[in-house]
Amino acid sequence: MTISTLTFQTNALAQMEALETELTQTQDELSTGSQLPNAAANPTATSQVNELNMTLSASQQYVSNGTAATSSLTLEQSALTSATNALQSARDLAVEANDSSLNSTDLTDIAQQLEQLQQTLLGAANSTDASGNYLFSGTASGTQPFVQSGSGVSYQGDSQVNQVQISSDQSISAGDAGSSVFMNIPAGNGTFTTAAGAANTGTGSIDTGSVTDPADWVPDTYTITFTSPTQYEVTDSEGNVVVQPTTYTSGDDISFNGIEVAVSGTPDTGDTFTVAPAGQASVFSTIGNLISTLNSSSTLSSGQVTTQVGTAIQQIDNALDNLDDVQASVGGRLNSVSTAGDAAQTQQTQLQQNISTLSSTDYAAATTQLSTEELALQAAQESYASIEKLSLFNYVD
């Protein structure tokens, strides 16, 4: 087969151009430190590196999210500790006040201490982060969550909380709404509440009671009426008799419809006590009601004071239990962030190694390859130059 001079030149030039391209690419690898100076160098590897970089970027964002959540949750934990300490002190004062030997002046002094603790509670509930965002306002972080008006405290925040993604398949709440932390606390024993009648004049008081059989409990407002200091009956909200007239002994349980309560002391004829379905109460109303009771002790019967103080102690215990639950939840979320962060760091290290393997230059191999390509290009150039000089006249004598 005859090969024309034009074909020879075209093939030779194409070969040298390919060798020059390879040489240039190797030089670029050595100068940039990357095997992938551009997408054309290795499209498959470039695509893999792009995917790995996207995964790495997402992982780094998850860690950043976790760091921000940790800061917020740590501040919340501190605020909850402050609130818990204040409530525990309030409980101690309530127990101290539940002493029949104290006079109205003593009880007023305790009320003043409780007012200070109420402000401490309010301060903890209105805690902010370094940017001035309120910790317990839910998603409305720019709104002060708790506002005091007179003796009452209202919640102005949101019931929703921000969710933070800490891994590809896990998100956590970055905080807690103040409504669930300080406001919506189960009242009484969680099933029902008890109270002494406002017109009572005797020394009788009622405890917070307990549920003996939840299946028998019929939610309603029941009235325990003392027809004499030694006899009572129980009626429902429609006046139906639930417990027939029964002899009363101080401290004995009064049982009906799956519950039991105990009345102690000496009620006067006509004194009443109520048992009603439990609702919800805030920590602020609990302390506020206790303060009101102690300040009004001179106008209340001893039985009313004892009943209301006992109710306050139960309510404070409920609030402390709720704070304990929230703190446990915060601790669990902090642990989740820490675990997710450790996993992300391990993942990032592996991703960076994979990216390096695909994209970083192996200098020893690249240097050897450069020498080989230079020699190949030089040989091709010399061969082309030598053959181009050939002519039939070189073989004619």
Q: Is residue 38 part of a domain?
A: no
Question: Does 391 reside within a domain?
Answer: no
- Model confidence over 247-287: pLDDT tens digits? 999 999 999 999 999 999 999 999 999 999 999 999 999 99
Residues 240 and 317 placed together within one structural domain of the fold? no
Residue 50 C-alpha from the chain's centroid: 34
Please say whether the beta carbons of 257 and 240 come within 8 A: no
**28: in domain:** no
| Residues 213 and 361 reside in one and the same domain | no
16, two tokens: 């040298």
Based on the fold, state whether residues 132 and 218 are members of the same structural domain. Answer: no
Q: Is residue 372 part of a domain?
A: no
162 and 305 together in one domain: yes
Please check whether residues 320 and 257 belong to one and the same domain.
no
Residue-wise pLDDT tens digits, 169-198: 999 999 999 999 999 999 999 999 999 999
Say which DSSP state 187 is in.
P
Does residue 177 contact residue 158 with C-beta atoms inside 8 Å? yes
Q: Nearest-5° angle of CA 189, CA 193, CA 194?
A: 120
Structure tokens at 297: 């002790």
Residues 314 and 169 in one domain: yes
Last residue within a domain, chosen from 278, 302, 322: 278
Please provide the DSSP assignment of 24-66 as one string. HHHHHHHHHSBS-SSGGG-HHHHHHHHHHHHHHHHHHHHHHHH
Nearest to 182 by CA among 201, 154, 160, 203: 154
Q: Which two tokens stand for residue 247?
A: 């002899």
Domain boundary among 234, 257, 278: 278
Predicted confidence at residue 360, as pLDDT, reads 55
Please report whether residue 95 resides in a domain.
yes
For residues 114 and 213, membership in a common domain is answered with no
Q: Distance (Å, rounded) from C-alpha 53 to C-alpha 35?
A: 16
Establish if 56 belongs to a structural domain.
yes
Specify if 338 maps to a domain. Answer: yes
Q: What is the pLDDT of residue 151?
A: 79
Q: Are residues 115 and 163 in the same domain?
A: yes
Q: Are residue 229 and residue 90 in the same domain, yes or no?
A: no
Task: For 45-92, write each residue's pLDDT tens digit.
Answer: 667 777 877 888 888 999 999 999 999 999 999 999 999 999 999 999
Residue 181 belongs to some domain of the structure: yes
Domain boundary among 215, 249, 278: 278
Region 302-318: mean pLDDT is 96
Q: What is the pTM of this model?
A: 0.79
pLDDT tens digits, one per residue of 143-168: 999 999 887 899 999 999 999 999 98
Same domain, 295 and 269: no
| Residue 338 or 40, more confident | 338
Q: Is the confidence at residue 393, as pLDDT, over 60?
A: no
Instruction: Report the alpha-carbon distance of residue 249 to residue 201 in Å, rounded.
Output: 18
Could you give the number of structural domains in the chain?
A: 2
Q: How far is CA 357 from CA 34, 36, 52, 352, in A?
A: 10, 11, 12, 9
Percent residues over pLDDT 90 in the chain: 70
Angle at 187 between CA 185 and CA 190, to 5 degrees: 95
The domain in which residue 140 lies consists of 44-187+281-366
Q: Which two tokens stand for residue 151?
A: 């003796």
Contacts of 124 (CB under 8 A, 6+ apart): 79, 80, 82, 83, 86
Tokens of 349: 């290290």
Same-domain check for residues 96 and 68: yes
Check pLDDT > 60 for residue 104.
Answer: yes
Q: Do 198 and 331 share a domain, yes or no?
A: no
Dump the DSSP string for 83-124. Answer: HHHHHHHHHHHHHHH--TT--HHHHHHHHHHHHHHHHHHHHH
